[in-house]
Structure 1
Amino acid sequence: MAKLTIIGRIQAKPDKIELVRKELLKLIPETEKEKGCIQYDLHQDHKDPAFFLFFENWESKDLWQNHMNSEHLKAYLKATEGCIQDFVLNEMTQIG
């Protein structure tokens, strides 16, 4: 099975940028320890600091699904409840 690439786009509410940034950064060390995590990179836009992007690579969809059910992701969702303006998640496969 091909590895799974995830693009996660997070738009924080303008008055919640620093809180969201802090909580997103907390996810990195825990997620990088997870089975199946190949790459888990967080980016912040230069012109729109409320826009964050995760670029992730996972060994399989099942292992990524374990991440989506992890305790640290649940803690992030609770901590940022009401702070996110928009969230888009793309599940992708590299084709070239």
Structure 2
Amino acid sequence: MSRVTVVARLLARKEAADAVKAELLKLLAPTRNEEGCVEYRLHQDNDDPALFFFYETWESDACLGKHKETAHYRSSFGAIEGMIQERSVNRLTMIEA
């Protein structure tokens, strides 16, 4: 079983950037306490305050899957539905030489 890294990009509608940020911040503490969460970081673009990135590392795909079923995940992403202009999620596996 190998770790999974996720890089998620969320572009909020300009008028909703503050509300989206507030919801995304609510995810940090409970997610970091989830079983299998190695790293969970939220970033905001320096030039575009409506652009957010999550950088996440999970022990396994199963742990990542459980994360998406948590109440805090569903609540926050439900709250920002309609406020997101673009979204992309990349699941990555580290290559070691």
Q: TM-score range by the shorter chain?
A: over 0.9
Alignment of 1:35-74 (within 5 A): 35-74=35-74
Q: Which residue of the partner structure matches residue 83 of structure 2?
A: 83
Instruction: Specify the SS of the correspondent of 1:28.
Output: helix
1-side partners of 2:2 and 2:78: how far apart?
32
Shift of residue 77 of structure 1?
1.6
Residues 56-94 of structure 1 deviation map (CA, whole Å, 9 limit, x = unaligned): 000000011000111101101221111000110001001
2-side partners of 1:7 and 1:81: how far apart?
19
Q: Which residue of the partner structure matches residue 95 of structure 1?
A: 95
Identity %: 40
When the two structures are superposed, what TM-score results if normalisation uses the length of structure 2? 0.96
Shift of residue 2 of structure 1?
1.2
2-side partners of 1:10 and 1:78: how far apart?
14
Runs of 4+ with deviation above 6 angstroms: none
Gaps of 5+ in 2: none
When the two structures are superposed, what TM-score results if normalisation uses the length of structure 1? 0.97
Instruction: Specify the SS of the correspondent of 1:34.
Output: coil
1-side partners of 2:34 and 2:86: how far apart?
26
